[in-house]
Every structure is written in C-alpha cells, then in structure tokens.
Homo-oligomer: A and B are copies of this chain.
C-alpha cells in the first residue's frame, strides 16, 4: 500500500548516507570510479560492515571484485535523500551561527538551497548577508508561503526560540532544526531535530574528566 519504501531506514543510516555522498564526491573529483566498502569506512572512520549494511538497506549492489561504482552510488543516494524538485531552506537568526551554516552549506547541495534569512535586528534586515537576503521576521509568513519553503533552521538566541518556532509553524514550515539551547515543541506533522551545542561541550568535558581518573 505504502509507496514510501524507505520509511524503515534507520535515522542514523540517513545521516551516514549524506556523509557517504560527500566522501564519494571527493573521491570522484580525484578521478576514482570505484570504491570498496572498507575504503568508504576508513574515510569516515567507521567499519566496513556498517557501510555494507547501510548500502544493503538502500538496495545497492556492488561488484564483488571492483566494489561500488561511485557515480551509481552517488546517484542512488541522491534518489533516496534528495527531493527531485529541490527543497528550500530558511535560516531564522542571522547571527554568527546562522551565517556559519550559510557558509558551510550554501552551494554544496544541488537540491537544497538556503533561500531566505530572517532576523529582528534592523541592522541586518532588508539586505543581503553572506549571499542570503535577510528579511525582518514580520515578513516570514509571507515569504515562506510565497517561496514554498518547508525547512527552517533555528539559530536565534535561546529566549526567542519559542516565539520564533510558532512563527515558523504558522508559516508552513514542516521540518525544523533547532540549534537553540531551548527545547521547543511542534505539532505532530512537523519534523523536529534538536541539537544542543552546550550539552555537547559538557558531554565532552565529562568524558575527559572521567578518563583522567
């Protein structure tokens, strides 16, 4: 019945596929045409079994003697994780973090483009920052509707997280990546991914401390 045959692929596999693709692009640029599972594994510092298992899940078969064809694999990963018509992304909060993401990301992915930025600071709004036009948040609903943006990245200060998420949801955003230290809530039909940078630092600090003893 369901035609979304990929629903049961583990979240972690999806993340790794994105990383495989990046590594494969680099290999292809070097003129490589084929690659073994253990080569991919060593690029990402994971195990070859995990690579093969991930590729099994997406139904790609390599050649027994030559490994995987890089171009085919890149294409297949694209078929799986990209949307053929492309997807637009908006950044909420054009501070350092928002701009860092723009610089890391923009232009690297054919099917995923950062299309708009939003901020409340009048010094930032109504002009282009790092190649992205920055609107005042009041325009968010309009712009997001008109552009058909479905993905939003939240990089505002923690105390503005909740109100900004409400705006995003109202405007029709269906996937949010929250980099704010404040956990937020969204309706069931909105996919939410939270990443708390402060917790990550504290976690590293904890394991450093523990190893020492």
Contact = CB atoms under 8 A, between A and B. Distances in A.
A189 B211 contact: yes
Number of identical monomers bound together in the oligomeric complex: 2
Contacts of A18: 196, 198-199, 202-203
B96 A100 contact: yes
B87 A95 contact: no
A208 B151 CA distance: 8
A193 interface: yes
Which of the four size classes fits the interface of chain A? 35 or more
A101 B184 CA distance: 20
B87 A19 contact: no
Contacts of A80: 206
Nearest to A196: B19
Contacts of A189: 211
A128 interface: no
B197 A101 contact: yes
Interface string A45-57: 1000000000000
A34 to B, nearest CB: 21
Nearest to A22: B181
Interface of A: 3-4, 6-7, 11, 14-16, 18-19, 22, 43-45, 80-83, 87, 89, 95-97, 99-101, 103-105, 108-109, 112, 150-151, 153, 155, 174-177, 181, 183-185, 189, 191, 193, 195-213
